[in-house]
Chain A
Amino acid sequence: MKTAKHIKTLNQANLKESAVKGGCGECQASCQSACKTSCTVANQKCEK
């Protein structure tokens, strides 16, 4: 966690970097894990 006086940033903000390196498609389909009736993609694990 990066801390400044007025702002604490919780993460590395690497979404754009992940786009360049991503797309291998080896991760789980979102519906296969525990939902089956809704879609939450961001809680899936990356396989890399």
Chain B
Amino acid sequence: MIHKYKLGGYNICLDVHSGAVHVLDDIAYDILDFCDESMTEKCPEEIVSGLVGKYDRDEIEETYSDLYSLKENGQLFSPDDYEQFSDMMTKAPIKSMCINISHDCNLRCEYCFAAKGDFGQGRCLMSLETAKKAIDFIIANSGTRHNLEVDFFGGEPLMNFEVVKQTIEYARSIEKKYNKNFRFTITTNGLLLDDEKTEYINREMNNAVLSLDGRKEVNDRLRITPNGKGCYDIIVPKYQKLVAGRGDKDYYIRGTFTKYNLDFTEDVLHFKELGFDQLSIEPVVSDPNLDYSIKYEDLPRVFEEYERLAQTIIESRKKGEYFNFFHFMIDLNQGPCAIKRLRGCGCGNEYVAVTPQGDIYPCHQFVGHEEYRMGNLHDGTFNTDMKLEFAKANVYSKDNCKNCWAKFYCSGGCNANNYQYEGDIRKSHKTSCELEKKRLECAIMIKAALAESGDETQCDGEDCISSCI
């Protein structure tokens, strides 16, 4: 299977099952219209006759020969022989956990998928006892996995920061005994950040995800306090201080774009102007009937904006300016292994979320959906049949995924989106699919542009020589 497309002045061909990416001239691009898995060594006469008015015969035959060599080298029309690894795509130890340390929030963001902080379950905070049980649970269910990821999430986790700190202290006190290495992330809206919390986060958290939607008027339209005021002026200086002290630890400024700011390139550029360089902004997940939702008919405008953002990134890199946009990151050589790509995000199998009540869900987006409650930390229940159901929800069990060119990049998409908007974890959410495919096309095009300009290795980000853009 191949995927070929034109973008940014480049003719690009992705060979899906080998992962090879080729940039083609016009003749090679046109010849591919006549080719498939059954290519033979000799250029078929129908290709010559089909293109001879546009190119000369010798050039057609020469180019065909180059394409055939790629096929022979396993870089074009390479077969799908991943079925042999299917047993590696099933159940796995739990290595990642989202701890909803607070089902309360000091913002009332209009688009919040967590029902403005409480996931529809009433406002409450997690006790230390429950948080410790969560740590015990992931250790007990992590098998031989060494690296364990824990994200403090909410609601707003800074509203329960003492328990966050005590939970980390507890995990650190026992990780060596069990040969584990905890990596902590906090996802915060920033309102309660102060010097002490900032210093603690920069010392203890491997990653900090800082919510901000972009320009002041964009952020303050939807990210509002309970009394209806915007939060931009409060949080931006706090984020700048935190990032200034972050050192080489990961962070992301993480925004959401909606129908209200389909010109979101401006928001990415605003992040950059504020001094941030690790950026993520992604489409709102919401009921399509809401005013701010991204609807299927909005896709052409969003695609146009992703192309604009991609060109902006290329121009910046050529000027020696660096910023990283999470959803255009792609590593064509040293990215995740094919097994990980086929397993997908791992929700419900390698990854679970726990609530202040100790309930266990496949991920944070399933919280509150009673039919997907997997168990409870206090009564010791855990539905391993449901875990297996999620384990099997890989690209080869999703009808729309197994023959999709993007299957090794999005890996089956978000099961929660599938469930909430299509009614089945295996049924792809079409709008999300189209957005993901467009982002991938842009990400690969950026690679082509930077390779051509020789800027590909000038990135100054850590571990970025081939991975970031």
**Interface size band for B:** 35 or more
Alpha-carbon distance A14/B78, docked complex (angstroms): 12
Q: Which residue from chain A places its CB closest to the CB of B409 in the assembled complex?
A: A42
Q: Kindly identify which residue among A18, A24, A34, A46 contacts B209, using a CB–CB cutoff of 8 Å.
A: A34
Question: Which residues in B have their C-beta under 8 angstroms from that of A39?
Answer: 344-345, 410-414, 436
Alpha-carbon distance A27/B96, docked complex (angstroms): 10
Question: Which residues in B have their C-beta under 8 angstroms from that of A26?
Answer: 95, 145-147
Q: Is the beta-carbon distance between B149 and A15 smaller than 8 angstroms?
A: no
Q: State the interface size on chain A (CB cutoff 8 A).
A: 44
- Whether a CB of chain A sits under 8 angstroms from the CB of B346 is yes
Q: Report the minimum CB–CB distance from A7 to chain B (whole Å).
A: 5
- Whether a CB of chain A sits under 8 angstroms from the CB of B265 is no
- Whether a CB of chain A sits under 8 angstroms from the CB of B24 is yes
Q: Is the beta-carbon distance between A42 and B23 smaller than 8 angstroms?
A: no
CB contacts between A and B, total, < 8 Å:
225
- Whether a CB of chain A sits under 8 angstroms from the CB of B20 is yes
Q: Is the beta-carbon distance between B17 and A15 smaller than 8 angstroms?
A: yes
Q: Is the beta-carbon distance between B18 and A16 smaller than 8 angstroms?
A: yes
Q: Is the beta-carbon distance between B22 and A10 smaller than 8 angstroms?
A: yes
* B-facing residues in A1-48 (Cβ within 8 Å): 1, 4-16, 18-19, 21-48
Q: Kindly identify which residue among B145, B363, B436, B452 contacts A40, using a CB–CB cutoff of 8 Å.
A: B436
Q: Is the beta-carbon distance between B21 and A11 smaller than 8 angstroms?
A: yes
Question: Which residues in B have their C-beta under 8 angstroms from that of A46?
Answer: 334-337, 340
Q: Is the beta-carbon distance between A40 and B409 smaller than 8 angstroms?
A: yes
Question: Which residues in A have their C-beta under 8 angstroms from that of B331?
Answer: 42-43, 45
Q: Is the beta-carbon distance between A7 and B66 smaller than 8 angstroms?
A: yes
Question: Which residues in A have their C-beta under 8 angstroms from that of B74?
Answer: 13, 16
Q: Which residue from chain B places its CB closest to the CB of A12 in the assembled complex?
A: B333
Per-residue interface assignment for chain B, residues 274 to 314, with 1 indicating a CB less than 8 Å from any chain A CB and 0 otherwise: 00001010111100000000000000000000000000000
Q: Is the beta-carbon distance between A22 and B346 smaller than 8 angstroms?
A: no
- Whether a CB of chain A sits under 8 angstroms from the CB of B185 is yes
Q: Report the minimum CB–CB distance from A42 to chain B (whole Å).
A: 4
Q: Which residue from chain A places its CB closest to the CB of B252 in the assembled complex?
A: A34
- Whether a CB of chain A sits under 8 angstroms from the CB of B234 is no
Question: Which residues in B have their C-beta under 8 angstroms from that of A27?
Answer: 336, 340
Q: Which residue from chain A places its CB closest to the CB of B69 in the assembled complex?
A: A4
Question: Which residues in A have their C-beta under 8 angstroms from that of B20?
Answer: 9, 11, 13
Question: Which residues in B have their C-beta under 8 angstroms from that of A31?
Answer: 96, 98, 345, 347, 351, 363-364
Question: Which residues in A have their C-beta under 8 angstroms from that of B82?
Answer: 19
- Whether a CB of chain A sits under 8 angstroms from the CB of B28 is yes
Q: Kindly identify which residue among B337, B413, B447 contacts A18, using a CB–CB cutoff of 8 Å.
A: B337
Q: Report the minimum CB–CB distance from A44 to chain B (whole Å).
A: 5
Q: Kindly identify which residue among A7, A21, A35, A41 contacts B341, using a CB–CB cutoff of 8 Å.
A: A41
Q: Is the beta-carbon distance between A38 and B335 smaller than 8 angstroms?
A: no
Question: Which of B85-93, B101-109, B164-172, B376-384 lies at the interface?
Answer: B85-93
- Whether a CB of chain A sits under 8 angstroms from the CB of B332 is yes
Question: Which residues in B have their C-beta under 8 angstroms from that of A44?
Answer: 335-336, 340
Question: Which residues in A have their C-beta under 8 angstroms from that of B336?
Answer: 18, 22, 27, 41-42, 44-46
Q: Which residue from chain B places its CB closest to the CB of A29 in the assembled complex?
A: B96
Alpha-carbon distance A46/B339, docked complex (angstroms): 11
Alpha-carbon distance A30/B31, docked complex (angstroms): 37
Q: Report the minimum CB–CB distance from B416 to chain A (whole Å).
A: 8
Question: Which of B36-44, B212-220, B322-330 lies at the interface?
Answer: B322-330
Q: Kindly identify which residue among B63, B254, B330 contacts A42, using a CB–CB cutoff of 8 Å.
A: B330
Known: A7-B28, A21-B337, A44-B336. A36 touches B187 (CB 8 A): yes
Alpha-carbon distance A11/B467, docked complex (angstroms): 12
Q: Report the minimum CB–CB distance from A47 to chain B (whole Å).
A: 7
- Whether a CB of chain A sits under 8 angstroms from the CB of B128 is no
Question: Which residues in A have their C-beta under 8 angstroms from that of B350?
Answer: 25, 29
A-B contact pairs, 12 of them (CB 8 A): A6-B28, A6-B63, A6-B66, A7-B67, A13-B19, A15-B338, A16-B338, A25-B340, A30-B345, A31-B98, A36-B187, A45-B336
B residues in contact (CB < 8 Å) with A: 15, 17-25, 27-28, 62-63, 66-67, 70, 74-75, 78, 81-82, 85, 88, 92-93, 95-96, 98, 113, 145-147, 149, 151, 153, 183, 185, 187, 207, 209, 250, 252, 254, 256, 278, 280, 282-285, 326-327, 329-341, 344-347, 350-351, 363-365, 408-414, 417, 432, 435-436, 439-440, 447-448, 451-452, 456, 463, 467
Other than the known A13-B15, A18-B337, A37-B417, what 18 A-B pairs have Cβ atoms closer than 8 Å? A5-B63, A6-B24, A7-B66, A8-B451, A10-B332, A13-B18, A13-B75, A15-B338, A19-B85, A23-B88, A23-B337, A28-B96, A33-B250, A36-B254, A38-B282, A39-B410, A42-B330, A42-B341
